[in-house]
Amino acid sequence: MRSTRPAALLIHGLGGTVYDLGSLGRTLEDADIVTHSPTLPGHGTEPEDLLGIRWQEWVDAMRHEYRELKKRHQVVHLAGVCLGALVALEVAREENHQDRLALYAPPMFLDGWALPRLTWLRPLAYAIPGLAARMRVPEVDPFGIKNQRIRKLIQQRFERGERFHYAYIPLACIREVDGLRRQLKPRLSEITCPTLIVHAEEDDITSPRSALFLQSRLGGKVDYMPLNDSYHMILVDNERMSVLARSLDFFTARPAPRADVVSEEEWETEAAMA
Quick: pLDDT tens for 10-66. 999 999 999 999 999 999 999 999 999 999 999 999 999 999 999 999 999 999 999
| 1 within some domain | no
Instruction: Count the neighbouring beta carbons within 10 Å of the beta carbon of residue 208.
Output: 20
Quick: pLDDT tens for 183-213. 999 999 999 999 999 999 999 999 999 999 9
CATH code of the domain containing 51: 3.40.50.1820
Please give the average per-residue pLDDT across 165-189, as a whole number: 96
Domain containing 46 equals 7-273
Q: Looking at residue 262, what is its pLDDT?
A: 43
Q: How confident is the model at residue 234 (pLDDT cuts 50, 70, 90)?
A: very high
Quick: pLDDT tens for 126-141. 888 888 888 999 888 8
- The closest of 165, 200, 238 to 13, measured between CA atoms, is 165
Stronger pLDDT, 121 or 86, i.e. the higher one: 86
pLDDT over 70 at 77, yes or no: yes
| 226 within some domain | yes
Comparing 49-63, 95-109, 254-268, which segment has the lowest mean pLDDT?
Answer: 254-268
Q: Looking at residue 254, what is its pLDDT?
A: 53
Ramachandran category for residue 53: left, alpha or beta (phi over 0 → left; psi -120 to 50 → alpha): beta
| 2 within some domain | no
Stronger pLDDT, 229 or 265, i.e. the higher one: 229
| 131 within some domain | yes
Q: Contact 82/139 with Cβ under 8 angstroms?
A: no
Q: Looking at residue 110, what is its pLDDT?
A: 94
Per-residue b or e along 245-260, where b marks 16 or more CB atoms closer than 10 Å to that residue's CB: bbbbebbbeeebeeee
Q: Looking at residue 253, what is its pLDDT?
A: 75
| 175 within some domain | yes
Single-letter amino acid, residue 28? L
Burial class (CB in 10 A: 0-12, 13-18, 19+), 242: middle
Domain total in the chain: 1
Q: Contact 79/244 with Cβ under 8 angstroms?
A: no
Most confident of 48-57, 111-120, 254-263: 48-57
Alpha helices in 127-263 (DSSP H): 131-134, 148-159, 171-184, 209-217, 240-252
- The pTM assigned to this predicted structure is 0.90
Q: Compute the distance between CA of residue 151 and CA of residue 60 in angstroms, rounded to an integer.
A: 33
| 135 within some domain | yes
| 182 within some domain | yes
